[in-house]
A and B are shown apart, each in its own frame.
Chain A
């Protein structure tokens, strides 16, 4: 399994966003699935996050205009969910499960290990911008605890040794 690094558009280029033809077509395709325009909001935000790497205020304005909602409404929705990045993320976002099963099966040690190794706390990025450590709630893979989700991929049954190997692999892969 190779996890692809996130491609993140810098804040300067996402201040004012207009959707190009491909993007607009994809949004149109998504909107056809639902009886209301608003219902396409979550999928459209996913498309935007795929395209820009994060949901900037400029993206919110553009999405709000496209779907006919107020930007404040879209902003409220974006902030409700944890998976939309509202600031530019690192290339690899390490989402460590901190909930019960993982926590009692070595997750706590894993977190300590990661914090020490990367030198960052939860919510922080490494100075070189390659890793971001995020503590998340249950990832729904408790049988294979402890679990880390890196970008879109699950890494399960981890030990500090396996984790180190994984991090090295990701680092080389960049």
Chain B
């Protein structure tokens, strides 16, 4: 397949606007301004582009949810808070081709008639925030952004907003809260952001990769886009492969390739000639898949059929040297650290899981532990929490317990009981004012 989103990779000075314009950049933006918002939405609807951030929701439909007759401002937010373990595609796009994202933002903003767009980028990505800011300044200098863009009467400002270290802010309502200057607590839905979003106004939140697809759909047409991949799972997709493979990295492949192709052909197989044991198909929030499931197609629907999800396309490959207890322990700690703490099952459950897995990993497992883990996971997912972070830790952990129960039972079989705890003696720090009640 030809390179679409990553076509600038390897091109010298690929980040500059001159290079981008020379390759036909901003043609989609000009075309969009010519045909009008409704035609843009229709084109994207026809392309069957699905959100690349994780949920795979059709992008055109998301845009069409914005109330047409809403007076006052609306907002477009580009979600560059890429924090899902195993995912590093947005960084790659921004590194090589920031203008692609800017153009996508411009077209999307125009489609929903938003005059202000924000790029919410994760706080750690200082370098990439600077790249985006430079690109915005260049586009503005060329009259592609700002007031009365290309004499179309449309105004557009794009601002880069840096996060400050919170995985949960990748969830769209938490992202909006964070953008509004609050703690990143996800909101109850409904109302959905398309109706009540940032600053109480209709807002669309799209992933970097989703928006990067948009200029190509505009220039080359929905039919071309839909011809890539499979029905309802169209277009190119960036797969981020990490873990035990010979050539980890970002690969642009059509949706619908099998994981076997990704791992064996594109990434050169498992490192050190070892055997594949398991892999996460779409970031650590997706239920894990075993080596037997490697022939599943990497698209949204096929993954859903296999009771997992394509998510962000972050494929984490694990060879037969890993013990699933350690993997589960590692990701449980990730989610316990990143749980916002707002709602009960996730706040209590994520930490509880991490504690149990710590104990099993330390050789003090109990025979009831796997079932306790399953119970915690069951009641943290499927609508028990405000946002999908509950599912994000519950589904992979329960899939690991279910699919690799032998690993857990082996560790538990050889376990010793927890040594008796020494009760702590509080150190005497002298009388403290206000503490003597």
B281 in the interface (beta carbon within 8 A): no
Residue pair A99, B124 in contact (C-beta under 8 Å):
no
Count residues of B near A (Cβ-Cβ below 8 Å). Answer: 54
Given contacts A83-B124, A138-B334, whether A143 and B183 have CB atoms under 8 Å apart is: no
B178 within 8 A of partner (CB): yes
A98 contact set on B, CB distance < 8 A? 330, 333
| Choice from A33, A105, A154 contacting B127 with Cβ under 8 Å | A154
CB–CB A139/B124 < 8 A: yes
* From B162, B199, B242, B330, contact of A35 by CB (8 A): B199
CB-based contact B86/A149 at 8 Å: no
A103/B180 in contact, CB under 8 A: no
CB pair A142–B248 under 8 Å, yes or no, is yes
Q: Does B207 sit within 8 A of A, measured CB to CB?
A: no
- Max chain B Cβ within 10 angstroms of own Cβ: one of A43, A95, A100, A139: A100
Contacts of A35 in B (CB 8 A): 73, 199
Q: Decide if A120 is an interface residue (CB 8 Å cutoff).
A: no
Judge whether B82 and A84 touch: CB under 8 Å: no
Cα distance, A144 to B247, chains bound together (Å): 10
Which A135-173 residues sit within 8 Å CB-CB of chain B?
A: 136-145, 149, 152-154
A77 contact from B122, B182, B240, Cβ within 8 A: B182
Q: Tell whether B327 is near chain A: CB-to-CB under 8 Å.
A: yes
Q: Which range contains the number of A residues in contact with the other chain?
A: 35 or more
B161 at the interface (CB under 8 A from A): yes
Q: Are A138 and B318 in contact (CB under 8 A)?
A: no
**A42-B162, A83-B164, A99-B334 given as contacts; is B243 within 8 A of A104 (CB)?**
yes
Q: With A35-B199, A77-B182, A142-B88 known to touch, is A100 a contact of B244 (CB < 8 Å)?
A: no
Residues of A close to B231: CB separation below 8 A: none
Beta-carbon contact of B85 and A101 below 8 Å: yes
Tell me if B404 is interfacial: C-beta within 8 Å of chain A: no
Tell me the bound Cα distance from A9 to B263 in angstroms: 49
Give CA–CA (A36, B75) in the complex, Å: 14
CB neighbours of B9 from chain A (8 A): none
The interface residues of chain A lying within 8 Å CB-to-CB of B165 are 81-84, 136
Least distance between B132 CB and chain A CB atoms (Å): 14
Q: Is A66 an interface residue (CB 8 A)?
A: no
Cβ of B159 under 8 Å from chain A: yes
CB proximity to A under 8 Å, residues B161-183? 161-167, 178-183
Picked from B85, B244, B322, the residue with its CB within 8 Å of the CB of A99 is B85
Instruction: List 10 additional A-B contacts (Cβ < 8 Å) besides A69-B181, A76-B183, A141-B88.
Output: A39-B180, A83-B164, A99-B334, A137-B85, A138-B85, A140-B87, A140-B91, A142-B88, A143-B240, A144-B248
The 7 closest A-B pairs by CB, nearest first: A41-B181, A81-B164, A82-B165, A142-B242, A83-B165, A152-B126, A38-B181
Which chain B residues have a beta carbon within 8 Å of chain A's beta carbons? 73, 82-88, 90-91, 122-127, 157, 159, 161-167, 178-184, 199, 240-244, 248-250, 284, 314, 316, 318, 322, 327, 330-331, 333-334, 337-338, 340
7 A-B pairs whose Cβ atoms sit less than 8 Å apart in the complex:
A41-B181, A80-B340, A81-B163, A83-B165, A100-B327, A101-B85, A142-B242
